[in-house]
Structure 1
Amino acid sequence: MRIAWRRLNVQKDAVDLYYHFVGASQVGVYLDSCGKGRYDIVAWNPLISRSLNHGGGWSPFAALDDLVAMVPLLDQLPDDAPPFLSGVIGYFSYEAAWDEEWIGEPKDRKDSLPDVSLMIPGKVIVLDQLKKESWMVVSTLKEDPEPEVERLVEKVKALQAAEPIHMGNVIEPMVAKTDRETYHKQLEQIHAYISRGDIYQANLSYEVEGKVQGDSFSLYRLLRETNAGRYAAYMKFPGYTILSSSPEQFIRQEKNLIETRPIKGTRPRGKTQEKDRDYKEELATSEKDQAELVMIVDLERNDLGRVCEIGSVNVPELFAINPHPTVWHQSARITGRLTEGVSIGEVLRMTFPGGSITGAPKIRSMQVIHELEGERRGIYTGSIGYVDPRGFSEWNIAIRTMVWVGEEIGRLSYRVGGGIVADSDPGLEYEETLAKGKGMLQAIDKWTTTPATRR
């Protein structure tokens, strides 16, 4: 593989870059910080790709390491180069964990989406929002990449703004497949498991789906406005598209340093400043939510301890209250130093999926979730991210994430859920799921000429 790169002292808009360079292409990825982080990544033209399903006889995390090993290290890079320039981008669905642990008989597929999709992109543009710079990278299997990277530079310099957002149409309204009463009954079953000592906490979710027509990237542009997430992503594949506005980091690697930032605890945003402050204070002083977070922090400390040097795992941040467009979240930060020789694939194998979206203990709570939810989660609570062979990697928890199956006309769906503990109130837990889905419904409502939900 051969790689060429250029650094350009020109700042462009990532939406414009994706629109013009990827557009209607079959495969393209936009890792979007929504103005909350330093870097945005647009990648397309896959040189090598892997799509995997459970039971294929190939560990999805070993497949990631295999792909990373194919990418040569870029030399003569300045110290301030972005953490991703060339490497692997993709996603792991929640069910990728089935290849590592026995959770139960896999549920039937309702679509053809692979459990894992990874690619080495042939073209990458990285925007540095702090330094107002653009980095262009072209990778090839054999031919000289220099002429193409020069052409890419000239195209970036001449880039025009994207066209206005195209309105869409909701053919069938977005409908929750689990009603309030059913959710309450499932919550009572979790309480029974907790009372018997099987689990301490489980994350229960349900699906909302409808049928839509239009341009999925236009919908994503509105989603990033109504529900901007630090770890957002737009991923286009043949026959399906992922639109994520995730606020949650799963794993971040910087050389031998590793961290995770689980979210546990949610309150809606208030309609007035006073009510907003009340919700924030309520979350900050909630013993129930703090206890939930501590459970997950202990779980994540244990997970990181499996891949980190003894004594290096710490919790530098606990009970942080973070604002998001439609909710307040409580989070923590756990860090550690990787044991020498541990690959990113091994890190993910030992920690995936994130404990904040399973419960504790992890495997037993996943078995309970599998029993009660009765269907595949897919990308929901899986992870989207990248690996650069220089020792950098970042993956989100794919919450606040929609999936569009089809092309112009497609089935649009998302899942919402929450952590259930012994003293969870059924009514409040269901209301929390509605708050988590609010930003996605707002985006659909702004995009469509017809109501997103039944009035």
Structure 2
Amino acid sequence: MNNRIIKFNITEIKYRNAAKIFDTIDRGYMPSILTGNGPQDISKESIIGLKPYIDITIKDPTNIWEDLRTLNNSTNFHSMPYPINRVGAIGYISYEALHTLEKIEKQTVDEYEFPLLNWIIYTEYYYVSQENCKAWHIELKYDKEPVITGKNHLDKGFKVHNLQPDFTPEEYKENVVKVQKAITNGDVYELNLTQGVKGSFEGSPYSLFKKLYSNNSAPYSAYLERKGYTVVSNSPELFLRCDKNLVETRPIKGTAPRGTKKNEDDRLKKELVKSKKNQAELYMIIDLMRNDLSKVCTYGSVQVVTPKRIETYKNVHHLVSIIQGELKKDIDYIDLFKATFPGGSITGCPKVRCMELTEKIEKSSRNLYTGTIFIMNREMLNSSIVIRSCVIKDDKIIFNSGGAITIDSDPKEEFEESKIKLQSIYKAVEDENNI
């Protein structure tokens, strides 16, 4: 397979927010945008992909990782001048790809059909550097002509009806108790428990993205139109970021709501920092992620750069850690994914046993939720954990929420925390009344 760039044109344009650029251009068929706002050391760049050159969707689990390696190695973005070397394939890996890495019996129910992997390279990109306040339009010609065409989604508002969670509040609390029994029995130390929410959807998925982005843009906001479905993500969490052989992950563990007044907000933030439960959650996941990275990084290079810091968003405060390492010379990004996927912050510890219990306790398959959305080429990778996200498919909307359960968890508080994490999605749905 050869997907090499043979000609290119780079035009510097007036600097604007990427979401504003995306809103004013002809987006065409199956566009993508990866953008967001947040701490300055996270929200450095945004990418828009337009006019697909090739769209690869994989449902067969047989060779998913080798197929991804072949696809990534077929491109030459990395050898192009800046900013072409900062763009690449845009896609995702479903959480359900875990079954290709571990022998875990699938027991959750697939409420809808969803691919394991999607990978698209485009003939046009917009690259926006928030760090340097500059923007470029990139036009690419490959060794073959693109053949993908279709209709774009119109921006016409949206409505959501009949939202139904997988579990009642009491059932969710009972599931928390089940996890705590597993902890008491020594099966796990901490488990990330989630549930799905489903409803009917009318109108434009892009309108939902705009509403979410304007209400509460997160560092890893994403909008991916695909054939037959759309992904809208408002994730605050970095999974893996790589620049050549340098790798970084930033797991989130610990959440508190924002206060309505400054003194209340400051109090909630301090309580989060001092919380022994949240600190225990975070440190367990730090150890898990260090262990995962150590499988593919040079000896002694994996370091916890920042053990704990607060990141504040419109609705919540989060506890975040920063871990870095240096990949071994014979390791590529697909090896890195295989060593770390799914992210430890959304499984629990120990990872494999947590994923086994999750299959027994949760009802609906997670599909893309807690998987990863990425942009990558052979020398650059940026990927998020897919949380605070929706899939719109067949006139239905599906999203999920949850949190880490420890022996100290209060079932009622865990249920309330899962609701807080969905606040931005529910707010967007409540605000939109007209199509």
Q: Same fold judged by TM-score > 0.5?
A: yes
RMSD: 2.1
Distance 1:167 1:138 in 2: 31
Question: CA–CA distance in 1 between the matches of 2:309 and 2:84?
Answer: 27
- Any gaps of 5 or more consecutive residues in structure 1? 146-163, 451-455
Which position in structure 1 is the counterpart of 2:44? Answer: 38
Residue 6 of structure 2 is aligned to residue 6 of structure 1: no
The question of whether the paired residues in 2 share the 8 Å contact of 1:10 and 1:132 is answered with no
Match of 1:50 in 2: 56
The 1:334/1:187 distance shift into structure 2, 3 A limit, reads same
In 1: Cα distance, 2:299 partner to 2:348 partner = 25
- Correspondence 1:361 to 2:365: no
Provide the C-alpha distance between the structure 2 equivalents of 1:192 and 1:435, rounded to a whole number of angstroms: 25
Shift of 1:89: 1.2
Corresponding position: 1:84 with 2:89: no
Matches within 5 A, 1:53-452: 53=59, 55-59=60-64, 61-73=65-77, 75=79, 77=81, 81=83, 84-85=86-87, 87-105=88-106, 107-142=108-143, 166-170=156-160, 172-389=161-378, 391-406=379-394, 410-449=395-434
Q: Name the structure 2 match of 1:158.
A: none
Do 1:216 and 1:404's aligned partners in 2 also have CA atoms closer than 8 Å? Answer: yes
Q: Tell me, what secondary structure is at the counterpart of 1:332?
A: strand
Does the 8 A contact of 1:5 with 1:135 survive in 2?
A: no
CA shift, 1:292, in A, is: 0.8
Shift of 1:272: 1.4
Q: Secondary structure at the match of 1:371?
A: helix
Q: CA deviation at 1:33?
A: 2.0
Query: After superposition, what is the alpha-carbon deviation per residue over 1:83-129, rounded to whole angstroms, capped at 9, x for unaligned?
Result: 623x2110011101111111213544322321211112222111122
**C-alpha separation between the residues in 1 aligned to 2:19 and 2:176?**
41
Alpha-carbon spacing, 1:72–1:327, altered in 2? closer, same or farther (3 Å) = same
Deviates more, 1:99-108 or 1:222-231: 99-108
Query: Sequence identity of aligned pairs in percent?
Result: 31
* In structure 2, C-alpha distance between the alignment counterparts of 1:83 and 1:366, rounded to whole Å: 36
Preserved CA contact (<8 Å) 1:47 1:119: yes
| Cα offset, 1:245, TM superposition | 0.4
C-alpha displacement of 1:331? 0.9
Output the TM-score relative to the length of structure 1.
0.88
SS in 2 for 1:109: coil
CA drift of 1:305 comes to 0.1
Cα offset for 1:144?
A: 9.3
Shift of 1:395: 0.4
With 314-323 and 130-139 compared, the bigger mean Cα shift is at 130-139
Deviation, structure 1 residue 200: 0.5
1:404 & 1:115 partners in 2: Cα distance?
16
The number of residue pairs the alignment matches comes to 421
Structure 1, 198-207 or 61-70: larger mean CA deviation: 61-70
Aligned-pair distance for 1:228? 1.3
Q: Bigger shift: 320-329 or 133-142?
A: 133-142
Letter in 2 for 1:244: S
Q: Matches of 2:192 and 2:220 in 1, distance apart?
A: 21
Cα gap change, 1:174/1:339 in structure 2, threshold over 3 Å: closer, same or farther? same
1:9 deviation in Å?
4.4
Distance 2:181 2:144 in 1: 62
Give per-residue Cα distances to partners, 1:395-435, cap 9 Å, x unaligned.
000000011113xxx21121000000111100111110010
The 3-state SS of whatever aligns with 2:386 is coil
Aligned equivalents of 1:293, 1:380: Cα separation in 2: 20
Is the CA contact 1:82–1:128 (under 8 Å) kept in the aligned structure 2? no
Structure 1 position 140, deviation (Å): 3.0
Relative to 1, partners in 2 of residues 1:26 and 1:8: Cα closer, same or farther, differing over 3 Å?
closer
- Say whether the 8 Å CA contact 1:67–1:120 is kept in structure 2: no
SS at match of 2:286: helix
1:120–1:272 distance in 2 versus 1, CA, 3 Å = same
SS of the residue corresponding to residue 104 of structure 1 reads: coil
Indicate if the aligned counterparts of 1:227 and 1:440 stay in contact, CA closer than 8 A: no
Q: 1:262-318: CA deviations, max 9, x gaps? A: 000011111111111111010010111101111000000000000100011100101
> Deviation at 1:16?
4.2
Q: In structure 1, what is the Cα distance between the partners aligned to 2:224 and 2:420?
A: 25
Measure the CA separation in 2 of the matches of 1:120 and 1:106: 34
CA contact (8 A) 1:113 1:240 kept: no
CA distance in 1, matches of 2:170, 2:434: 31
The residue type paired with residue 179 of structure 1 is T
Does the 8 Å contact 1:242/1:403 carry over to 2? Answer: yes
Contact preservation (8 Å) 1:28, 1:43: yes
More moved, 28-37 vs 277-286: 28-37
Deviation of the 1:63 alpha carbon: 2.2
Relative to structure 2, which stretch is displaced further, 12-21 or 396-405?
Answer: 12-21
Contact 2:176–2:405 under 8 Å retained in 1? yes
Paired residue secondary structure (1:395):
strand
Q: 1:247 to 1:62 in 2, by over 3 A?
A: same
Paired with 1:67 and 1:319, the residues of 2 have a C-alpha distance of: 37
- 2:151 corresponding residue in structure 1: none
The C-alpha deviation readout for 1:229-286, integer Å capped at 9, x for no partner, is: 1011000011111110000000000111101000000111111111111110100101
CA distance in 1, matches of 2:107, 2:138: 40
CA contact (8 A) 2:230 2:393 kept: yes
How many Å apart are 1:130 and its aligned residue? 3.3
C-alpha distance in 2 between matches for 1:379 and 1:405: 13
Quick one: distance in 2 between partners of 1:175 and 1:111?
A: 15
Letter aligned with residue 159 of structure 2: N
